[in-house]
Amino acid sequence: MESVKDRVKRLCQENGITVQQLEKQIGLSNGTISKWDRYNPRMDKLQLVADYFSVTTDYLTGVSLNAAIESKTETITAFGTYEVDLIKTFRKLTEIGRVKVYLAALQELQNELNNAVPEEKDDARSSNSIAG
């Protein structure tokens, strides 16, 4: 039977990161996961790993073979391929990298909204003049 440590290690390999990189990205001390074959992990630490890989803690512990997060399945499956790739890549970033991407994306969205507002105002004016 596959241990928690083995499942985490396999998920890391499937996602192109090392266990050490995972520990660093989710804030675990170096070597924490390697101890999980001798000790049961704390639930909060197990949840960090589960959230990172979008799997359930039941999947990590072997209670369930279903890797999907049951409560979020609709949301996750509603994502397109680009969105899933974006999320996976985003999760591989350091916290500083995530903040930079987040701020840049917000700025880009704000720019798009600012550019869209004048067009909407023009449309509103032309429909008012037609009606008036």
Strand ranges inside the chain, DSSP E: none
**Integer CA distances (angstroms), 116 to 122, 126, 131, in order:** 10, 16, 23
Cut 0.75: pTM above it: no
Strand ranges inside 73-127, DSSP E: none
Look at residue 120 in the predicted model and tell me its pLDDT: 52
**Per-residue model confidence as pLDDT tens digits over 10-44:** 999 988 999 999 999 999 999 999 999 888 899 99
- Domain 1-78 architecture: Orthogonal Bundle (1.10)
| Domain boundary assignment for the chain | 1-78, 93-132
Contact 42, 63 (CB under 8 A): no
Amino acid identity of residue 88, one-letter, is K
